[in-house]
Amino acid sequence: MKRTVNVLAGDPCRLRAALPLAVALALVPELAMAQGVPPSANMVEKEAIEAEAVEAEPTSIEQGQTPLDEAFGPPSRADWIRETRRKAFEDTRFNLQVRSFYLDREKFDDSDSTAWALGGSLGLKTGYFRERFALGATGYTSQKLYGPEDKDGTLLLAPGQEGYTVLGELYGEFLLNPGTRLTLGRFGIDTPYLNRNDARMTPNTFEAIAVQGLYGGSDGRPEWRVGGGYFDRIKERNSDEFVSMAEDAGAPDGVDRGVYALGANFKSGELSVGAIGYYSDDIISIFYTEAKYGIPLAENLKLSLGLQYSDQGSAGDDLLRGTDFSSSQWGAKAELAYKGALFTTAYTRARGDTNMQNPWSGYPGYTSVQVEDFNRDGEGAWLLRASYAFQSVKGASVYALYVDGSDPDSPTDYSKKEFDFNVQWAVPEGVFKGLLLRLRYAQVDQEAPMSSDLKDLRVMIYYDPPKL
């Protein structure tokens, strides 16, 4: 097994450089009036799955994506409050999830990527010592049940169809005030262009220092989410090694750079608006902003509108490609929700002198779906999507979508169309409570000189045992 343990997150000098950001956010006036502290990423994910199973609220967010208004913290302020004023050892919580994942992809060139893996995660987070300091750790594993060497590439296993085990999280968490935490070490985090992208066997995690805050949001008050930090290294989804953020982005060997991130989101009633920036010296700069607004039309009927914009460019000495580059993409989305049904349409358009990039996350574009991101230079794409959460079978839902992309500017690339189908059941109660069954199928048609297609089948079984 490769190197799996490095307790300190990145270079200490770089982490010290990020500390003024932490102090500045902690001292923002009036923000410390909020109550509550977030649980770890794994605990939040488990509670979110349980809540989804009970409520079965429809959503069009793709697996592996993070909307801006859900960045920097758990789903709600109530999750933060749940962690406050408890004794450390009495509040130590263990989290176990078992996963089995089968993926079979028949590519455009008729080659296959196929694997079946078994694994999951085991972690813990202590309560807060003197209501100020907590510790957390999570180990991840993915082991091969089936995986021919000539069918590599599913990202369920390490390269060569090898199983792996890694200590993906090992961190300390400090409460700067009741609504603000500072996290140092190895941990997962979710923002639009830097997140866990947890759509395979194990998620991305990072060696970093970060401050996150969640203020207001109760008693009709507006909600503020703020966050920032320095991210030095990343463990990709199918890896047991942490590597430089610059290396993971595609920089030449020997180039070692991290990523600074800073952003905020404001939400009041049905309005949500925010922005976040990422900067990796000599590598890349990324700016992302998004606004959403909901319009209740009648009982159980609601229209939601969204706008997004991304801008990317080379930074400093242009070490990523050896030359400067720039690209951007904008998108618009409309959703109509009625009881358990959700109907979505969206459009995105990319332009610049290169394709959009997302080296450290799932892509946040409205037309990014199971296989394709539809973010190539000059590409426009329309999405139509319909989903339904069954009222008679709690936790069961289904959706289908279609994306029609145009020809990109590159003469060697061609237009693509993708159709996806998903059915799942998150068992909300009974002896199988905590079990999630999910089937996903996608087909991508490419309008090449000789038309070709790609087929992608995924079968997922997740099990969260009763709380330990």
Q: Which three-class secondary structure state does DSSP give residue 144?
A: strand
Q: Please give the Cα distance from 103 to 112 (Å, whole number).
A: 10
Q: Please give the Cα distance from 231 to 14 (Å, whole number).
A: 9
2-6, 210-214, 314-318, range with the lowest pLDDT: 2-6
Q: Is residue 88 over pLDDT 80?
A: no
Q: Is residue 8 over pLDDT 70?
A: no
Nearest to 207 by CA among 245, 240, 166: 245
Between the CA of residue 334 and those of 330, 331, 366, 383, 384, what are the distances in Å?
A: 14, 11, 10, 10, 10
Q: Please give the Cα distance from 224 to 31 (Å, whole number).
A: 9
CB 10 within 8 A of CB 232: yes
Residues in a beta bridge with 101:
117, 460
pTM over 0.85: no
Q: Which two tokens stand for residue 343?
A: 């109907």
Sign of CA dihedral 313, 319, 320, 324: positive
Q: pLDDT tens for residues 290-311?
A: 999 999 999 999 999 999 999 9
Between the CA of residue 346 and those of 167, 289, 358, 405, what are the distances in Å?
A: 39, 16, 20, 12
Report the pLDDT value the prediction gives residue 435, as an integer from 0 to 100: 97
464: Cα within 13 Å, side-chain hemisphere: 22
Report the pLDDT value the prediction gives residue 38, as an integer from 0 to 100: 41
Other C-beta atoms lying within 10 Å of the C-beta of residue 8: 13
Mean predicted lDDT score pLDDT of the chain: 87
Nearest to 59 by CA among 340, 426, 290: 340
Q: pLDDT tens for residues 171-204?
A: 999 999 989 999 999 999 999 999 999 999 999 9
Q: Where are the alpha helices (DSSP H) in 56-96?
A: 77-81
Q: How confident is the model at residue 467 (pLDDT cuts 50, 70, 90)?
A: confident
Q: Is residue 25 over pLDDT 70?
A: no
Report the pLDDT value the prediction gives residue 70, as an integer from 0 to 100: 80
Give helix then strand counts, H and E, for the chain: 4, 19
Q: How confident is the model at residue 44 (pLDDT cuts 50, 70, 90)?
A: very low
Q: pLDDT tens for residues 148-178?
A: 999 999 999 999 999 999 999 999 999 999 8
Q: Is residue 362 over pLDDT 90?
A: yes
Q: Which two tokens stand for residue 98?
A: 């078992």
Rg (CA), the chain: 22
